Structure 1
Amino acid sequence: MNPANSNASPKGDREAILGRIAEALREEAPRHHEAPDKPAPLSVTAPFREWLPPVGKTRKDQIALFAQQSEALRTEFRECPSEAGAAKHIAALAAELGWKTIALHAGELTDAIAERLPKTLAVLRVDSGYTKGALESCDAGLTECESLIAQTGSVCVTALSSGGRALSVLPPHHIVIAQKSQLVNDLSGAYELLAQKYEGGYPSFISFITGPSRTGDIERILVLGAHGPKKLTVLLIP
C-alpha cells in the first residue's frame, strides 16, 4: 500500500484495535456452556452505540431511516403500493438490464410476484431442484426475509424464509420483497422476532445482509460484488 494514498496511520489503527480488545478482555465472559447473567455493561457498548442513528417511534420514521441507510449502502430501496407494483418494478429492471432468468423460492409474497412477471422472463424455482451452475447463471434471485432493520439498513434472511442458503448469494442481483410489518428498529428487535418465531429451533442459516457484497481490502478501494450479489434491491409493500 502506498502511504501517500492513506489518511490513516497504521500504528494508530493498531493501537485502537488492541485497546478495544484489552477493554473487552477486562469483562469476564461466561463459560461456553453457561448463558450470560447480565448484558454487556454500558462502558463497553456505549462507544459503539454512538455510531448508530436513533430510530423514531413511528412506522414512517422506520421507513425513512431504512431508506436513508439504504442509500448510504448503495441498496436500491423502493416502496411499492402492492404486490402488483413490486412485480411491475421487477419487470422494469428486467427490461432495463436485459434479464432472461430470475430464480425464486415458494412463498406467499414470492408466489404472488411470480404470477405477475412477464412471460418473457424465465423463472427458476429452487424448491423444484437446481444445479449450482443454473442458479449462478440466473440474472437475479428473489427472496422473502425475516425482517428489515431500520437502524442499520440490514435485511435478515434465513434458510427457511429465503429459499435456502444459495439463492440470496449466487445470482448477481438479489431482490428482497418484504412487508411493512417486518420492519424493526434495531438488531435486538430482529433477534427477538427470530426467538419468537422459532422458539429455540433455529434454522441452519441466519444472515444479516447490509448492502451489496463488498470489500475494501486492496488499497482501501471499495469493490462491489466481491463475495456475493453486486446489487441489492429491497421492495417494501403494505
Structure 2
Amino acid sequence: MSDTSREAVLARIRQGLAAGAAPLPPRPDFAQPVHPPLSNSDAVVAFAESFQRVGGEFYYCESLPHLALQIAGFQQRQQVGAPYVWEPEMQHLLYRAGVAFRADESEFIAQADLSLTSCEALVARTGSVLVSAATASGRRLSIYPDQHLVLARPSQVVAEIGEALRVLQARYGAATPSMVSLTTGPSRTADIEKTLVLGAHGPRRLALFLLEDEE
C-alpha cells in the first residue's frame, strides 16, 4: 500500500472516531402487534377475502338446504360424484341436508376424487384452514383426494395463527393430535422450470362451505 493510500485510510478512520459511536437502532416496542389490522373489521369477511386470495373457493351457506344447493352446484361444475365423509357428525348433518356421501372406504385409493371434512379453526390473516388427525377423517381425507371440501362455521374464525393454535391446545390439552396442518390454498409448486403445478403434494382444489352456526 502506498503512503498516499495509507494516509487516506487513516484519515477516514480518524474522521470516524471523531464522530463518536454510531447511534443505536430504535428499540422495538414488543407490546405492539406484529401485523397491521385485518383487511376488514369483520374477521369472517377478512377470512373469506384471504382464503380466495390464496386460491381457495369460498361458499357461504345460510341454511342446510342452501348448503345442499352449493355442494350440488360444485359437484356439477367439477363433474365429481359424492364425497368421502368419515366423520359421524358430518355424516349426520349431510343426511339432514339431503346430501349424498360415501361413508365407507371402498375403492378409496382408486376413486378418491372428492372428500369433505371438518376443521379445527380458520385463520383470517392468512386464509388458512387448520386441520388435524384427531377427527375421524384422520390424515388421509385432507391430503389424498384430488379435491378437498371443508365444512366450517363462522364461530371457528380467528384472526391469527397463534389464536388457532391456542384453540387446538384448549381442545386437546396434552393430547396433541399426531398431525396438525395449516392448509393455505390448494397444493402447488413451481420448483420445476418455474411452472406452477397444482396438486403436487395434496389436493389441487380446496373449497370451503361456511354454514351459519344456527344450522
Question: Which amino acid in structure 2 is aligned with residue 139 of structure 1?
Answer: D
Alignment of 1:223 onto 2:201: no
Please tell me whether Structure 1 or Structure 2 has the larger radius of gyration of its CA atoms. 2
Normalising by structure 1, we get a TM-score of: 0.69
Residues 53 and 151 of structure 1 are in contact (CA less than 8 Å); yes or no, is this contact kept in structure 2?
Answer: no
The alignment covers a number of residue pairs equal to 184
Tell me how far apart the structure 1 counterparts of residues 117 and 136 of structure 2 sit (CA, whole Å). 5
Alignment of 1:164 onto 2:131: no
**Which one of 198, 211, 218 corresponds to residue 172 of structure 2?**
198
Query: Which residue number in structure 1 is paired with residue 86 of structure 2?
Result: 105
**Aligned positions of 1:66-77 closer than 5 A:** 66-77=47-58
Cα RMSD for the two superposed structures? 2.6
What are the Cα deviations for residues 64-116 of structure 1, in whole angstroms up to 9, with x where unaligned? 21122122211001211023322221111112222223101224344312443
Query: Which residue number in structure 2 is paired with residue 182 of structure 1?
Result: 156
Shift of 1:150: 0.3
Question: Which amino acid in structure 1 is aligned with residue 103 of structure 2?
Answer: R
Question: Which amino acid in structure 2 is aligned with residue 235 of structure 1?
Answer: F
Shift of 1:204: 1.2
Shift of 1:57: 8.2
Tell me how far apart the structure 2 counterparts of residues 56 and 166 of structure 1 sit (CA, whole Å). 33
Q: Among the aligned pairs, what percent are the same residue? A: 34
Residues 75 and 211 of structure 1 are in contact (CA less than 8 Å); yes or no, is this contact kept in structure 2?
Answer: yes
What are the Cα deviations for residues 181-232 of structure 1, in whole angstroms up to 9, with x where unaligned? 1000011100110111111111111111000000011222221111110100
Please state whether the residue corresponding to 2:83 is helix, strand or coil.
Answer: strand
Residues 85 and 116 of structure 2 are in contact (CA less than 8 Å); yes or no, is this contact kept in structure 1?
Answer: yes
Structure 1: 5+ residue stretches without partners: 1-40
Residues 158 and 203 of structure 1 are in contact (CA less than 8 Å); yes or no, is this contact kept in structure 2?
Answer: yes
**Which one of 65, 76, 81 corresponds to residue 95 of structure 1?**
76
Query: Which residue number in structure 2 is paired with residue 25 of structure 1?
Result: none
Normalising by structure 2, we get a TM-score of: 0.76
Question: Which amino acid in structure 2 is aligned with residue 67 of structure 1?
Answer: A
Query: Which residue number in structure 2 is paired with residue 84 of structure 1?
Result: 65
Shift of 1:171: 1.1
